Amino acid sequence: MSPAVEWTLFLLLATGAIAGAYRMLRTMSMVRAGIFLMGSFCSIAGLFLLLSADLIAAMQIMMYVGGMLVMIVFMVMMSPDPGGSMMGIAPPEEEMDMQRGSKQHHDMQGDRMNQSHESADEKQYTCPMHPDVRSDSPGKCPRCGMKLQPTSGAEHGVMEMQGMDMAMTHEFTRPAAIIGFIAGAVLLAAVLSFDWPSAPGLANFDSGLIVGKELLSRYMIAFEAAAILIITGMVGAVILGRRE
């Protein structure tokens, strides 16, 4: 593979992996979150292919496509608004009552939205993390410093519905972001400060055969431990998940 092609593929897949994981955290729609994360995992599988670990790449996709679809079903089942009210695409007034999800949205935010319809330039702005912070002009939240967003905006973090708190993130988001940033930055600095050796050449091999042989000889303990782990998971799932 020529260097240009390899770099292009690497950059595409790396962008996909990082953007997918990040978008997963920033979207209101649960289904979109699952699909974005699936995209991230599939990009990582693509990176595995670039690293010539074809078997692991296939296993990764097999596991995570199934796993993410199951997760999406659970999120849709358990969260109060899995569609993010279908990403808050504000429906036209006359079609409002045809859609229940939007109708609730409408009831709750009705006054605010009507206001903004009557006087379009008197837009209200609110902090994604602190719904009680309101302002008539765009700016920064006095409490956490995040950018204020218009209340009728689609993809902001907070919605009130049926009196329930609908925020995706809790109030410690800023410290969490700092910790995450520090963790990533420390690792990144460590990675970049070291002079890594280049890759040795690779013979043409059948990874399925080699992994199978290793699993049945040197790493049989991993194989049997996996069986125990899987049955533990099954029993746990059945006990915890069954109906009363």
Partner 1 sequence: MNVLTNAAYALLLFAIGTFLTATLDTAIRERVWHPKRLVQNISQLVDALLRSDPGHKRIDRVLFFGAAPLAVAAVSVALLVVPVGNWGLAGPSLKVGVFFYLVVLDFLAVALLMAGWGANHKFGTEGAFAVVAQLVSYVVPLGFAVTGAVMAAQSLAATAAVQAQKGLWFGLWQPLGLAIYLVATFGQTFRPPADLPLSEDSNVLIEHHGAGEALLRIALYGIWFSAAAMGATLFLGGWRGPWLPGPLWFVVKTAALLALMSWAGKRYRRLTLKQMLRGAWLILIPASIVNVIIVGLILMVKR
Partner 2 sequence: MDYRAAFPLAFGVFAIGALWLVLSARKAYPRSERAGGQRGTAWVQADVPYAVIALLFLAFDMEMIYMFPWAVAYLRVGMVAFWDMFVFAAILFVGLVYAWKRGAFEL
Partner 3 sequence: MSVPLAAYLAVSAVLFGIGVFGVLSQRGAVMVLMSAEVILNAAMLNTIAFWRYRAPNDFAGQIFALVILTIAAVEMAVGLAVMVMIYRRRKMQMVDKIAELRG
Residues 215-234 that bind partner 3 (CB under 8 A): 215, 219, 222, 225-226, 229-230, 232-234
- Residue partners of 33: CB distance under 8 A and separation at least 6: 23, 24, 25, 27, 75
Name the phi and psi angles at 135, rounded to 5: -150, 155
Measuring CA to CA, how many Å separate 104 from each of 101, 145, 168, 222?
6, 30, 18, 51
Identity of the residue numbered 209: L
How far is Cα 176 from Cα 179, in angstroms, rounded to an integer?
Answer: 5
Residue 91 binding target from partner 3, partner 2, partner 1, none, CB below 5 to 8 Å by type: partner 1
> Smallest gap, in angstroms, from Cβ of residue 16 to partner 1?
14
Minimum gap (Å) between residue 154 Cβ and partner 2? 16
Q: Of these partners, partner 3, partner 2, partner 1, none, which one is at the site of residue 221 (CB under 5 to 8 Å by kind)?
A: none
Q: What six digits make up the tokens of 185?
A: 């930055």
Are the CB atoms for 244 and 237 separated by under 8 Å? Answer: no
Residues that bind partner 2 (CB under 8 A): 1, 5, 9, 12, 46, 49, 52, 54-55, 59, 62-63, 66-67, 70, 73-74, 76-77, 80-83, 86, 98-102, 204, 206, 208-209, 211-213, 215-217, 220, 223-224, 226-228, 230-231, 233-235, 237-239, 241-243
- Binding to partner 1 by residue 115, rule CB under 8 A? no
Residues 190-219 that bind partner 1 (CB under 8 A): 206-209
